[in-house]
Amino acid sequence: MAEIKTVGFVGTGIMGAPMARNTAKAGFNVLAYNRTRAKAEALGGHGVRVADSVAEVGAEADAVVVMVPDTPDVLEVVEGPGGLAEAMRPGSVLVDMSSISPGATRELSARLAERGIAMLDAPVSGGSWGAEQGTLAIMVGGEAAAVERMMPVFEAMGQRVTHMGPSGMGQTTKLVNQILVAGTVSAVAEALVFAAAHGADLERTIEAVGAGAAGSWQLANLGPRMARGDFAPGFMVRLQQKDLRLILEAADERRVPLAVTGVARALFTALEAAGLGEEGTQAIIKAVERQANLTARQAPGDAAKQ
């Protein structure tokens, strides 16, 4: 089983860039391509070489990590003109760390297998903060032998790596993750608006309830940002919306009712309609505020602004 020495990255945005940096820091030879070249060039000081094309990455790398927004984007960089499928060598590994359709993943994996290319679907959770710190949770679908080969690379980017089963199961697990995330962040927003409506100090409220059964990653990390009015993206509203679309499509296939997820999607839809798709998912509090006709965000000790 050949060792992975050169790792390619296609997509060096808010998540891909720190993942590539951490991979290079771990000692791998890293080659990166991004459609906006300046984003890849920004990695030059971190030991990452910049490729001129997707095909160049595919031809040189033992494994290629793809981190792009949606299913059509993955299919384009892999099977489009000059794509990875044509350039990658038999025996190499393609690792899709985007969040896309499980069904499309399984179909793409089968086509790549015919070329002798192993494919893993390995979406992540933890946002840009986890990507920066190398503490991502990575959920992987695909053949066990390919997972074993990629484990040193995964460990450079993440803190917990879980092999979930055959192709598509990594993406399925990511959708489970997003059901939990979307429902929880919606509840956090509602709770803080309720607290503000009754004059509670939001920072103190988060500290109080976060120590008990209501504690969650969303409350601890996004709750304070909501309270401060900090909407810088760790994960963008528009990407959360894309994941919610994938979830509800997959739920319809198996006739699984997802009432809470449907409500969360309605709130995120309102944000996108207001032109807030580039903000972090904690901006969901703005949608709840509009329904309640108050502004919950406050400095510590301030009452809600009516």
Catalytic residues, which ones? 174
- β-strand partners of 192: none
Integer Cα distance of 78 and 53 in angstroms: 12
Q: CA-CA distances (angstroms) from residue 188 to 210, 215, 233, 253, 302?
A: 11, 10, 17, 29, 19
Q: What is the CA radius of gyration of the chain?
A: 20
Six token digits for residue 110? 């089968």
Do 74 and 51 touch, CB atoms closer than 8 A? no
DSSP code at position 302: P
* Residue 2 half-sphere exposure toward CB, CA atoms < 13 A: 12
Q: Do 3 and 57 contact (CB within 8 A), yes or no?
A: no
Q: In this structure, what are the phi and psi dihedrals at residue 29, rounded to the nearest 5 degrees?
A: -80, 115
Name the 3-class secondary structure at 154. Answer: helix
The count of C-alpha atoms lying within 13 angstroms of the C-alpha of 163, restricted to the half-sphere facing its C-beta, is 13
Question: CA angle 287-125-223, nearest 5°?
Answer: 40
